[in-house]
Amino acid sequence: MLGAVQRQLTEYDYYKGYELDDICFYELSQYDKAVLDNAIFLVDNKLSLRKCAKEVGRSKSSLSRDFVKLRRLSFDLYKVVQKQLRVNKEKYFRRG
């Protein structure tokens, strides 16, 4: 779970923390970082959910469940992932 830490905000890497409203600084757990990394990997390489799961060494259902949790971490990234999955689904149905 995310733990709130009040402190002066400085420059930081996105993967070291997540900034909300310029007031609080939330540390990301290793699991949350992995979810973000997997989502970015899927979008950058334009992979299907199955291929992404194979590449990162997780099951398809676990990765799918993670991407649902992505909604609370980064809604913008969540929307991009959903768009990529929709494009993949359309390709599948066009092939027949």
**pLDDT in single tens digits along all 96 residues of the chain:** 444 444 444 444 444 555 545 555 567 888 998 999 999 999 999 988 999 999 999 999 999 999 999 998 889 899 999 999 999 888 877 765
Write out the residue range of the structural domain in which residue 40 sits.
30-95
CA gap 62, 67 in Å, rounded: 9
**Is 0.85 surpassed by the pTM of this model?**
no
Alpha helices, DSSP H only, in 1-96? Answer: 30-45, 49-56, 60-73, 75-95
Element (H, E) at 3: strand 3-5
DSSP 35: H
Domain contains 44: yes
When divided into structural domains, the chain yields a total of 1
Domain contains 57: yes
Domain contains 87: yes
Decide: helix, strand or coil at residue 26. strand
Domain contains 25: no
Q: Note the pLDDT of residue 89.
A: 85
